[in-house]
Amino acid sequence: MLPEEFSENSSEDVTAYADDTLLPKDLVEALQLEKQRREETLFLRKKILNFFIGWTFHSTGIAIAKWCLVLGGTSAMWTAVSLCFTISFVPTAFLATGININYTDGQFQVTNMQKLSNLGIGLVSASVTTYLAVKDYQYLQDLSNQTIVQLSESIREVQRQHPQTDPWLSIIVAGALFVGSMFAIFGGRGK
């Protein structure tokens, strides 16, 4: 065969092929159902993954805030608040990427606005997480102060009623009151 003959024969062969055979209707429906099921499964997995990632960052923010507040007290309040908010906001910052704001010919053009609403939701959830972390610390601090006041009053009352007692008795009574109050605090919160 000469090259000219080959090119003429090959163009005839290409047009000689028939169209693809259509799949049976039930098979097409089964494939569409399977495709839809897979898309729903992937969407559910994505939602679950986003939930656990967000939960992890929020719980880490709370733990770091409490750690800062317990070690630094009220003087570390702003450090705890800023760290908790920043860490809780990390998953939202990843979602916020992709928002495009352009200024062209005197008009703003914004794409991916749904990510802007996710940004607002993330700001609110990070703020709530930070508020709850600080509020929980303040609650624990108030309980501790009340316990100290109660212990001091109990020690003074025992000393007034029994001035001849040994100071070790006062220490034992204070320890018993402390253990009882801690049991009441943590036993009551667990329910």
Q: Which DSSP string corresponds to 107-143?
A: EEEEE-HHHHHHHHHHHHHHHHHHHHHHHHHHHHHHH
Across 29-33, 44-48, 113-117, least confident range: 113-117
For the cut 90, the answer to whether the pLDDT of residue 36 exceeds it is yes
Residue 64 has pLDDT above 70, yes or no: yes
Checking if the pLDDT of 115 tops 70, the result is no
Q: What is the mean pLDDT of residues 74-88?
A: 84
Residues 145-155, mean pLDDT to the nearest whole number? 83
Give the pLDDT score at 72.
78
**Best CA proximity match to 182, nearest among 155, 135, 144:** 144
CA distance 141 to 157: 24
